[in-house]
Amino acid sequence: MNKFAAFILAASAAIAGSASAQTTYPTAAPYAPLTTDIKAKAPNSAYVQDARGVIARNPFGLCWRTGYWTPADAVPGCDLPLCVTPDTLVDGKCVAPAPKVIAQAPAPAPAPAPAPVVVPVPTSEKVSYSADAFFDFDKAVLKPAGKASLDDLSSKLQGINLEVIIAVGHTDAVGTDAYNQKLSIRRAESVKAYLQSKGIEANRIYTEGKGEKQPVAENKSTAGRAKNRRVEIEVVGTRNK
């Protein structure tokens, strides 16, 4: 019995001399907890292992190294940290992967500026016709020459977005002011009626009589009085493009 006990003690001393628990590396997380089995490297390992290939550990969780262990034999969980995916072991440390650079989509091209809205500006054109060409003396019935002039005017309105036509009658100073006022109105109304017959809406035609109030020449001469007897027609609208 004494010889057998001496043999056991010698064997234990041999094992103690050839294996030691790690003492230079921490075992706290991320190192393997005691409940985690750490597999030894195959086929050779510098750690003490059992029949399953699991590294032996002391009650404090430290791995048992063999006598020929070197830092090059360190395994994660014992002398190297256990890295949690996606971290990887680099130079004995767990290193997180570099953040992925997400290529930003190019900024969309700016929308073209809307074309400026061109608002047509109404134009005004005024034409003065001799009353003697339009009417007989002291009359308000259009003569053929007057109708021809209005035909020409209405044909030119085809290229205009018409807003209004203003027809104003004028007389000379022969006769009373009241009579000339009425005559100028009748002549303007006669122009309106003819333009209506050419398809122009009545609400687009405005008439007015000025009588002898707005002469353009002196009334003492025949030539001056002829200039004052007139019908002025003003067309207001925008031209079509």
pLDDT, tens only, 95-140: 888 888 888 888 888 989 888 887 777 777 888 888 888 888 888 9
**More confidently predicted of 143 and 103:** 143
Residue 17: predicted pLDDT: 40
Q: Is the pLDDT of residue 179 over 50?
A: yes
Among 96, 115, 147, residue at a domain's last position: 96
Residues 139 and 207 in one domain: yes
Percent of the chain with pLDDT over 90: 29
Is residue 173 one of the residues assigned to a domain? yes
CA–CA separation, 48 and 56 (whole Å): 6
Is omega for the bond preceding 30 within 30 degrees of 0, making it cis? Answer: yes
- pTM for the model stands at 0.51
Q: What is the mean pLDDT of residues 44-48?
A: 85
Residues 86 and 188 in one domain: no
Residues 50 and 144 in one domain: no
Total structural domains within the chain: 2
| Residue 23 C-alpha from the chain's centroid | 67
Task: Please give the single-letter amino acid code of residue 127.
Answer: V
Question: Which of 131, 155, 124, 134 shows the shortest CA–CA distance to 234?
Answer: 124
Q: What is the mean pLDDT of residues 21-43?
A: 64
Residues 139 and 231 in one domain: yes
Residue 132: predicted pLDDT: 86
CA–CA separation, 157 and 239 (whole Å): 9
Phi, psi of 151 (to 5 degrees): -65, -40
Domain that includes residue 50, residue range: 19-96
Q: The domain spanning residue 229 has which CATH number?
A: 3.30.1330.60
Q: Is the pLDDT of residue 13 over 70?
A: no
Q: Is the pLDDT of residue 30 over 70?
A: no
Confidence of residue 19 (pLDDT cuts 50, 70, 90): low
Percent of the chain with pLDDT over 70: 86
User: Which distant-in-sequence residues (6+ apart) come within 8 Å of 84 by Cβ?
Assistant: 30, 94
